[in-house]
Amino acid sequence: MRIADEVVAIIAGLAATEVPGVAGMSGGIAGGIAEMLGRKNLSKGVKVEVGEKEAAVDIYVIVEFGVRIPDVALQIQEGVKQAIEGMTGLKVVEINVHVQGVVFPQAEQQEEEQRVR
């Protein structure tokens, strides 16, 4: 049986976005600006290499302001590993979490906008 890379990427993206502190997936940095992707593009922030029995994953995320990034990254690694191994039977040998940006709460952004007027 062969599981498509896209399937593994979607599983990884869903597992990553369920971690508290993850604001969303990142499509990479274009011109120095991280692009936030919605739920329908979960696999866009994930790169996977799938072999016959093993998988390696690179995940590109945007985190919420104020979270402890190493803790969030560890939770992403644990959640993604558990989801992929549980659903596919593949052994996950590597998960690299790339934090591409930080999102500030909406209330703070609105305050900033009001102060500038």
Residue 111: strand pairing partners: none
CA angle 81, 39, 66 (to 5 degrees): 75
HSE, CB side, 13 Å, CA atoms: give it for residue 31. Answer: 1
Q: Give the homologous superfamily in CATH for domain 5-116.
A: Cation efflux protein, cytoplasmic domain (3.30.70.1350)
| Chain mean pLDDT for the chain | 85
Q: Is the pLDDT of residue 41 over 80?
A: no
Q: Is the pLDDT of residue 115 over 80?
A: no
Listed in sequence order, the residues at least 6 apart from 84 whose beta carbon sits closer than 8 Å to its beta carbon are 8, 11, 12, 15, 55, 57, 90, 92
Q: Is the pLDDT of residue 3 over 50?
A: yes
| Domain range annotation of the chain | 5-116
pLDDT at 31: 38
pLDDT at 100: 94
